Structure 1
């Protein structure tokens, strides 16, 4: 399986103005369209525009406001918010409140380059992130660059290294097995709601394993389980039919079988002590 090609979408005038304004900064290496627009599959005509900006350093809020075009009265961009400061998954974001909304994410170029080096070694970390049940792997930085489309400058389209493909697929499968083991433990303790959470974590972990194992950069979003080949058909049907009230050890075992996973393998994965990724 290969990473799907990105598409250069037609940019509305206000999006083009934002792109051109940001491209005027000397610290900006590349401005790219990301998300569903880049993949040619916006969920609706009103889907947000996601813009990735790779920077040598994050501009100040005042500098950003200078770079942006004049906006209609009452449409000032929100203040710049930087999350995970100093972390490999650092992101600085702001929105331009027009319709459809334009979301801009500033990515330090040094973090992208560091992740390339890490991936070449087959290493990655997994970060807690509210949007994704199983957490976000640090190689999302490479996935973003590969799936986005450049409208100014270039950072290259990173390949998926074989070392990362092998290590990440094995790690995610181990985590999926561990989640199913924990689901069974919860059911036996009479805590079926907690068991459901672990089954869902197993599903998203298996999706990561199956996709990265094919050398496939994929969007790490709420649509993860809808990616082609993310789950076996039997496992998908079992999850769709599942409810917390019907959770039993037999249902967990059946889903494990559909996922071709042995929950007991989760014990071996735990014993490796690499719960946050591979270094």
Structure 2
């Protein structure tokens, strides 16, 4: 499935200075604008700038420090690039440029992106725990952000969504939604409505993932995920908004399942196959 390359927005001087500095580093292959700025729907004039940098190797700390505006990163001002632990979905190094609006820079090993492209062609992916998004994040987020970002220097291409990934991901996310609603019913029966609500929300997020990938659309980390995916159409949003600790009953959970078009009982089969241990795993 094809992907249309986004056009980079006009960069204010502070952002342009950072982008030009990054582009001049020997290991850098591409610099791209990501997030709401690339999609053309920032939350406001003070919305952050997210900059993606694809590199052969990670630049040294001193090289990155030179990208900061005068006075920033001095002895009285901490400059701490954060590098993720091995196995993290992004395997990234990131830092913030302290200007207004803030500039968040994320450096990505280009080899990791290519590896994930190869896995996607085979229909392989992993779901990682990640605090910025409910229910975790799929490893193909690396392809998503490349496809949903706009190049301002160099290019890594806009990865298309392979048919094999769609075929593997849709049933997995649908199964996860079924399992989540099954667990919600268990929590209701145990008198734990707040625990039930957590699983209902996980089900809605899983349906959003399934709907996006079924259309060959990449998943963005965004506060608008449920709306963009259409996961809460058909009365589901009203059902979800009406849930509370006092009203979360078995009947309410099943009404949400109907609105999300999820077969709760199929969650048992999903568990029996060992899919809860990770996409593609069999018990």
* TM-score where L is the length of structure 1: 0.94
Count residues with an aligned counterpart. Answer: 278
Q: Assess if the C-alpha contact under 8 Å between 1:77 and 1:97 holds in 2.
A: no
Q: CA deviation at 1:69?
A: 5.2
Deviation of the 1:261 alpha carbon: 1.1
TM-score by length of 2: 0.93
Q: Contact 1:122/1:278 (CA < 8 Å) preserved in 2? A: no
Within 5 Å, give how 1:50-199 maps onto structure 2: 50-66=50-66, 68=67, 70-72=69-71, 78-85=79-86, 87-199=88-200
In structure 1, C-alpha distance between the alignment counterparts of 2:2 and 2:55, rounded to whole Å: 28
- How far the C-alpha of 1:221 sits from its partner, in A, is 2.7
Kindly indicate whether the alpha-carbon contact (under 8 Å) linking 2:184 and 2:253 is maintained by their aligned counterparts in 1: yes
Q: CA RMSD in A?
A: 1.9
Q: 1 CA distance for matches of 2:55 and 2:4? A: 25
Aligned partner of 1:277 in structure 2 is 279
In structure 1, how many angstroms separate the alpha carbons of the residues matched to 2:107 and 2:78?
A: 14
Aligned-partner Cα distance in 1 for 2:229–2:179: 24
- Segments of 5+ residues of structure 2 without an aligned counterpart are none
State whether structure 2 residue 40 is matched by structure 1 residue 40.
yes
**In 1: Cα distance, 2:86 partner to 2:22 partner:** 21
Unaligned runs of 5+ in 1: none
Residues 5 and 73 of structure 1: CA distance in aligned 2, closer, same or farther (over 3 Å): closer
Q: What residue is the counterpart of 1:229 in the other structure?
A: 230
Residue in 2 that maps onto 1:26: 26
Q: CA deviation at 1:65?
A: 1.6
Structure 1, residues 157-184: CA drift from partner, whole Å, max 9, x if none? 1000001011101100000000000000
Shift of 1:86: 5.4
In 2 relative to 1, CA 73–253 (structure 1 residues): closer, same or farther, beyond 3 Å?
Answer: closer
Rounded Cα–Cα distance in structure 1 between residues aligned with 2:189 and 2:182: 11
What SS does the aligned partner of 2:145 have? helix
